[in-house]
């Protein structure tokens, strides 16, 4: 008789196989979990800075210039810093009241023939309400000038946009502003230009604007207290000069600090009466060309300009 081998195994062999299969299952499960968590970490949602998403959707504006490696921060108090500086947009104010800014640009600015895509983008991004006192917050995006204290005002949004567009700024522009005020106009220019140098004759306003612009993340704006009549010659010549206070004459130092091919816009006329926005361009030969572009009413420029004679 031929002996037949049994197909069944002993209880010990069966237990070993069960343990082996159990360990294999656990190893496979552990491997799947590791792959899952790695992919989840790598594919998570990208963080978007306040204002960044809105800017990226505006395809009409040129791309931001590239930063040099390791040179993406600067001392905002040092006007001599030659690093490439750009607004940071990390302050919570940039994420607030966005819809109001979009409406403001659409109804008050685009509808009145301001077309520069860089200017429109800047007006949508800069949080005007951050420059407004608490008592006037409800009017932050109304097309009207508002008081900022010390007998000074923040210009209406349309005028800010109009004057900025007249300068024809680009990412390489160096701007001089006469009359910092709240700092709003400087911030709008800084969204486009490489650097903005702003002078405010009221020391208290200069200090508060400098502090606010630093908090909002504008390392490319430099503010000092002083008489704007004399400009800021050590940082000239400037591609663009903007004045936000009216005088009966155009200060010669500002004309001298305007670069050939540069553009200057400022209110000119009686400080308490009729005024015009005047656009001045300087050709390659240094010859000035002047044009009245709009009747306006600005606060008066003070200081040396009041003592100077024609």
Question: Are 126 and 184 a contacting pair, CB within 8 Å?
Answer: yes
- Burial of residue 60 (CB within 10 Å: 0-12, 13-18, 19+) is exposed
Residue 163 phi, psi dihedral angles, 5° rounding = -65, -40
Helices 117-125 + 157-167 axis angle, to 10: 140
User: What sign results for the dihedral spanned by CA atoms 224, 227, 228, 230?
Assistant: negative
Running DSSP on this structure, what letter comes out for residue 65? P
Say how far apart CA 240 and CA 217 lie, in whole Å: 22
**CA angle, residues 89, 194, 256, in degrees to nearest 5:** 140
Of 112, 220, 227, 93, nearest to 160 by C-alpha is 112
- Annotated active-site positions, please? 155
Largest CA distance in the chain: 136
């Amino acid at each position: 008789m031929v002996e037949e081998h049994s197909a069944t195994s002993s209880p010990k062999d069966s237990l070993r196989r069960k343990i082996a299969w159990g360990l294999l299952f656990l190893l496979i499960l552990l491997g799947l979990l590791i792959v899952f968590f790695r992919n989840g970490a790598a594919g998570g949602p990208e963080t978007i800075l306040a204002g960044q998403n809105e800017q990226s959707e505006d395809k009409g504006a040129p791309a931001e210039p590239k930063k040099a490696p390791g040179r993406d921060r600067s001392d905002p108090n040092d006007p001599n810093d030659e690093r490439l500086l750009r607004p940071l947009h990390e302050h919570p104010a940039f994420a607030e009241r966005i819809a109001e800014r979009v409406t403001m640009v659409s109804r008050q600015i685009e509808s009145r023939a301001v077309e520069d895509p860089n200017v429109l983008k800047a007006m949508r991004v800069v949080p005007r309400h951050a420059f407004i006192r608490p008592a006037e917050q409800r009017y932050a995006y109304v097309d009207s000038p508002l008081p900022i204290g010390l007998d000074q005002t923040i210009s209406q949004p349309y005028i800010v946009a109009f004057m900025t567009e007249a300068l024809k700024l680009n990412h390489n522009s160096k701007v001089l502003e006469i009359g910092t005020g709240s700092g709003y106009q400087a911030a709008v220019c800084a969204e486009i230009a490489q650097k903005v140098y702003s002078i405010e004759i009221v020391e208290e306003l200069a200090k508060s604007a400098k502090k606010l612009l630093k908090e909002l993340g504008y390392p490319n704006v430099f503010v000092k207290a002083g008489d704007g009549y004399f400009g800021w010659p050590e940082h000239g010549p400037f591609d663009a000069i903007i004045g936000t206070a009216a005088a009966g004459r155009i200060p010669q130092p500002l004309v001298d600090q305007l670069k050939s091919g540069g553009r200057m816009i400022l209110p000119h006329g009686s400080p308490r009466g009729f005024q015009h926005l005047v656009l001045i361009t300087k050709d390659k030969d240094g010859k000035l060309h002047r044009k009245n572009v709009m009747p306006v009413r600005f606060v008066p420029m003070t200081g040396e300009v009041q003592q100077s004679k024609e």
